[in-house]
Amino acid sequence: MGLLEGKVAIITGASKGIGRALSLRFAREGAAVVCAARSADLVKETAAQVTQAGGQAIAVVCDAAIEDEVRRLVAAGVQAFGKVDVLVNNAGDGGPTKPVQHYEMEDWRYTIDSCLTSSYLCTRFVVPEMLKAGGGAIVNISSMAGRRGLPFRIGYCSAKAGQVGMTYGMAVELAPHGIRVNCVAPGAVEGDRIDRVIAGQAQVRGIPVDEMRKAMIERSPLKRMVTADDIVDATLYFCSDMARSVSGQVLAVNAGEPAG
């Protein structure tokens, strides 16, 4: 029996990367998965991969920062599978890399909405379903950027710090209802997104991309980046009964990099 046998999980940002890895692993652990993302083709591909592997999944095209679309997402999950037990707030965009004096209002609003408003909205509409079910588990995928400063990423740092604060507040509020809320804070995760971040940092600092990548890896005591599967393992723990007495926690998955 899998760690999530009989559970129904909504996973946002499920089109690729961590979100796709979460969807595939959660299905292998017995969950029916509601895969949500803005990219129709990619999120449908994620759901297809789940079903081809023998799992249950539906794809919902959804911008998690838009209220009506999130309401529709949760309704689609309940219609398909009857309930919601697990929510992983994984949607979010890194936003631009630029000095704060050049960080425009549209940059700020987009990054905050993408990472933080989306987590608030999904939680807002999922909680009533979890109350009906007698409990549930919510995990916010934040970042080490929310626990220490990163230059030229003011919007992203602010949004990810907001997810940490949201985790603490929701954990206390929802605990009497059997709803656990935790947070995973990844460090640098191998993949396309960190490649774009490294390129942006290198450009703004005026150094070669290879030098920037080396500096980022050297900052980690384990001298490596983490993988999407590392993040999935931590998230699965929080969503499973192994963490039945754990709430309001932030787990750094960052190859040992100090928080401050």
Question: Could you list the active site residues?
Answer: 156
- CA distances for 183 relative to 38, 168, 209, 221, angstroms: 23, 9, 31, 22
What's the rounded Cα separation, in Å, for the pair 256 and 233? 16
C-alpha closest to that of 111 among 179, 157, 45, 43: 157
What's the rounded Cα separation, in Å, for the pair 52 and 183? 30
What's the rounded Cα separation, in Å, for the pair 59 and 44? 5
C-alpha closest to that of 142 among 100, 187, 106, 191: 187
